[in-house]
Chain A
Amino acid sequence: MKITRRAALRQCLIITVGAALIPSCMQDKSKPAIALKHLKLDGDEEKLVTEVCETIIPATDTPGAKDTFTHLFVLRMVDDMYPKEEQDQFVKGMKEFDKLSEKKYDKSFVEASPAQREELLANIINNDTNDVSADVAAFLKTMKKLTVQGYMSSKYYLSNVRVYKLVPGKFYGCIPVTSLSEKGPSI
């Protein structure tokens, strides 16, 4: 049986199609690093989205949004999953958001320091009714939702935080919580 299983696996490995996630390397100002169908973002705007992602889930002693390619997932989802009106609002909110940074720090969000970025986001999120337009609020709400989704379904998260097993083998119906390893249950 072991041989059958191994043979089966081997055959499958040959045909497995892994989606290639290509990290952005050289971020030219005018050229975006990811091909989008609907959203029209230049390289700077893409970088803005990337840094908002990273501010929502920063790299610490563990990987953050950029390390887990979450920013690419966010762009892909906004591009493929949202109706045009919401995409337009996303872009409008994004541009307005950057202006808030210019106004407060005299520099764009991308140029601002990590501490300033955090402060700006904290101010908006904590006072979301004050000073912030519906477009900015919608932009940040979408950013947060997709960043969390992307991070929680990233290879890093599903290999280290909540461990996904492609081939779980046995199912245990009733075991003490304490019998699980530090990594918790496999999902």
Chain B
Amino acid sequence: MGNNNDTIKNRTFDAIVIGSGISGGWAAKELTEKGLKTLVLERGRDVKHLVDYPTTNMNPWEFEHRGQMPLEVQKENPIASRCYIFKEDAAHFVVKDNEHPYVQEKPFDWIRGYQVGGKSLLWARQTQRWSDFDFEGPARDGFAVDWPIRYKDIAPWYSYVEKFAGISGNKDGIPTLPDGEFLPALELSCVENYFKETVSKNYNDRHVIYARCAHITEPQPIHMEQGRAQCQNRSLCQRGCPFGGYFSSNATTIPWAQKTGNMTLRPDSVVHSIIYDESKKRATGVRVIDAKTKDVIEYYAKIIFVNAAAFNTTLILLNSTSNRFPNGLGNDSGLLGKYAAFHNYRARVSGEYDGFADKTTDGRRPTSAYIPRFRNVYKQETDFLRGYASGFSAGRSLKTNSEGFGRDLKKNLQAKDWGPWYVGSHMMGETIPKETNYLSLDKSKKDEWDIPLLNISISYDDNDEKMVKDYISQLTEMFTKAGFTNIKSNDSKQAPGLDIHEMGGARMGKDPNTSLLNQWNQMHLCKNVFVTDGACMTSTSTQNPSLTYMALTARAADYAVSEMKKGQL
């Protein structure tokens, strides 16, 4: 650095990782720990743990607009403004609409975080494992293509990443949601526990559990070694945590990789494409555009991990054209960009409960309760495929009475009368990946780095519509049986994307003719390129996907390095 030494040698590494979010951070950690000199490319700015969390210790009254974004900013950013994270305390971690435009062939709210750590700073930290009910879904129900792996392949890697990340949970013994390596759970509220009991009384196959989450509820030596401390239940995670209480790349994998001495982190590096060498029949490096100077720089490595977040990963692969691969890297099948999917988060059901009038909660909690998928688990039982999981929470607060003005109003605002318990749930529906839901490169429009804009063409289908209706009717029934009152449901009809669980584009599979990646997340047709972020997902299941990306990444890195050592890569 500084002496502008531009020899090829200085731009050559053992490995390159594109992206520093949840999966890129893990790739960086695993590869550097195994001794590989690794270049981590991040298109956004650097965000250092503790140092670059400007709002983390601000009180509500210290925000000029008490959290709201000014109208002008909202008008300039209609997409970002639809995301719950785009508030005064964390908007600086969300990509503004004009920073990296894309084409919406159909409406899609693409929420992104361009900085070191990516969206790992902002995620909802829910970490439920997949089971074979998920991995076997496409094969059983005849959609997409069969996953090349099963639960047994990934189970040890779930354990591996859980121990390091720190996952809080209960061992619930539910076949659809395998138990993991858990730190103690936080408490459920009275009404959450009550609902759990009534649901298991009324249904054999439905469960309400504590939602497993990436929070350190009881630090282990491995967490202290990372410099992280116990979660203090601030529930201000999206600002960056001064305790390192939740898992983010910034607090966890990136500093860990840094400590090995093997990582070179280069922020402000927009990856244009992966360079393919036709004589060597392998990728030799990546072409980077400096985000600020717009200089084109090439970096070289033996292996490349693509972790740019699902749709940007697909964009890079589509843009990596050569004589051998005129339609994008490894894309003989023509499937690159196709079968993109997401989670259906459209519906909510809420209500009130009059019981436990003498009880309440105190403090905040960074997670909630969770209802694993119960629809179509053991057999097909509805007129739609697959099913949905649900978040559930029940809490209580003081009533706000703003009647009158003057002394009366003031007295009303200072009164401490308890309101009822509020209960609420939201759906997390599996969507069926389809060839007609696809990503492509726009033919004419380019971004400021001379890279084609991503064209997104994704929409709901009839299966999704039926699932929304079923979720509303089933949760309403479960709430009714629990004696909840004032039950209301809402279908927001929000466009796909706000779930921030976009997946697919370069799916895994057994056959190069029907998939891009093999069982090791390795490109079938370009063996030294690995894709371990959301782009690899063959199907979506219902679980929040980040934990699965972490496990797939650690597993793929282990495979890649062992193949390298055997001289196979």
Q: Please determine whether A12 and B360 come into contact, CB atoms closer than 8 angstroms.
A: no
Q: Which of B227, B406, B413, B414 contacts A118 (CB 8 A)?
A: B406
A31 within 8 A of B: no
Interface residue count for B (Cβ, 8 Å)?
62
* Closest Cβ–Cβ distance, residue B359 to chain A (whole Å): 5
Interface residue count for A (Cβ, 8 Å)?
64
> For residue B362, which residues in chain A have a CB less than 8 angstroms away from its CB?
171-172, 175, 180, 185-186
Q: Please determine whether A172 and B187 come into contact, CB atoms closer than 8 angstroms.
A: yes
Q: Please determine whether A4 and B397 come into contact, CB atoms closer than 8 angstroms.
A: no
> Which residue of A is nearest B408, CB measured?
A122
Q: Please determine whether A169 and B60 come into contact, CB atoms closer than 8 angstroms.
A: no
Of B72, B224, B405, most A-chain CB atoms within 10 Å: B405
Please measure, in the bound complex, the distance between the C-alpha atom of A142 and the C-alpha atom of B344, giving whole angstroms: 37
Q: What is the total of A-B residue contacts with beta carbons within 8 Å?
A: 180
B564 within 8 A of A: no
> Which residue of B is nearest A118, CB measured?
B406
Q: Please determine whether B59 and A158 come into contact, CB atoms closer than 8 angstroms.
A: yes
For chain B, residues 399 to 419, give those with C-beta under 8 angstroms from any C-beta of chain A.
400, 402, 405-407, 409-410, 413-414, 416, 418
The verdict on A168 contacting B53 (CB below 8 Å), with A76-B64, A118-B406 known, is no
For chain A, residues 139 to 187, give those with C-beta under 8 angstroms from any C-beta of chain B.
144, 148-155, 157-158, 161-162, 164-178, 180, 184-187
Q: Which of A17, A125, A157, A187 contacts B58 (CB 8 A)?
A: A17
* Closest Cβ–Cβ distance, residue B44 to chain A (whole Å): 19
> For residue A62, which residues in chain B have a CB less than 8 angstroms away from its CB?
410, 414
Please measure, in the bound complex, the distance between the C-alpha atom of A186 and the C-alpha atom of B361, giving whole angstroms: 9
Q: Please determine whether B405 and A177 come into contact, CB atoms closer than 8 angstroms.
A: no
Q: Please determine whether A8 and B50 come into contact, CB atoms closer than 8 angstroms.
A: yes
The verdict on A144 contacting B59 (CB below 8 Å), with A4-B229, A81-B70 known, is no
> Which residue of A is nearest B402, CB measured?
A148
B57 within 8 A of A: yes
B324 within 8 A of A: no
The verdict on A77 contacting B359 (CB below 8 Å), with A1-B229, A4-B227, A12-B242 known, is no
Q: Please determine whether B55 and A173 come into contact, CB atoms closer than 8 angstroms.
A: no
> Which residue of B is nearest A77, CB measured?
B65
Q: Please determine whether A12 and B50 come into contact, CB atoms closer than 8 angstroms.
A: yes
Q: Please determine whether A12 and B59 come into contact, CB atoms closer than 8 angstroms.
A: no
> For residue B224, which residues in chain A have a CB less than 8 angstroms away from its CB?
1, 4
Q: Please determine whether B361 and A172 come into contact, CB atoms closer than 8 angstroms.
A: yes
> For residue B365, which residues in chain A have a CB less than 8 angstroms away from its CB?
171, 173
Please measure, in the bound complex, the distance between the C-alpha atom of A69 and the C-alpha atom of B55, giving whole angstroms: 21
Mask of B37-80 contacts with A, CB within 8 angstroms, 1/0:
00000000000001101111111111111101011100000000
Q: Which of B61, B193, B236, B402 contacts A153 (CB 8 A)?
A: B61
> Which residue of B is nearest A19, CB measured?
B62
B164 within 8 A of A: no
Please measure, in the bound complex, the distance between the C-alpha atom of A55 and the C-alpha atom of B404, giving whole angstroms: 11
The verdict on A9 contacting B60 (CB below 8 Å), with A169-B233, A170-B233, A171-B364 known, is no
> For residue B190, which residues in chain A have a CB less than 8 angstroms away from its CB?
173-174
* Closest Cβ–Cβ distance, residue B394 to chain A (whole Å): 9
A73 within 8 A of B: yes
B99 within 8 A of A: no
> For residue B64, which residues in chain A have a CB less than 8 angstroms away from its CB?
19, 76, 80
A13 within 8 A of B: yes
Q: Which of A122, A154, A158, A166 contacts B57 (CB 8 A)?
A: A166
26 contacts between A and B (CB under 8 A): A1-B224, A1-B230, A4-B228, A8-B242, A9-B57, A15-B54, A15-B56, A55-B405, A76-B64, A80-B65, A80-B72, A118-B406, A125-B405, A148-B413, A149-B66, A153-B60, A158-B59, A166-B57, A166-B236, A168-B363, A174-B359, A180-B360, A180-B362, A184-B416, A185-B397, A187-B364
List 6 additional contacts besides A1-B224, A80-B72; criterion CB under 8 Å: A4-B224, A12-B56, A15-B54, A80-B64, A118-B406, A176-B358
**B residues with CB within 8 A of A:** 50-51, 53-66, 68, 70-72, 186-190, 192-193, 219, 224, 227-230, 232-234, 236, 242-244, 356, 358-365, 397-398, 400, 402, 405-407, 409-410, 413-414, 416, 418
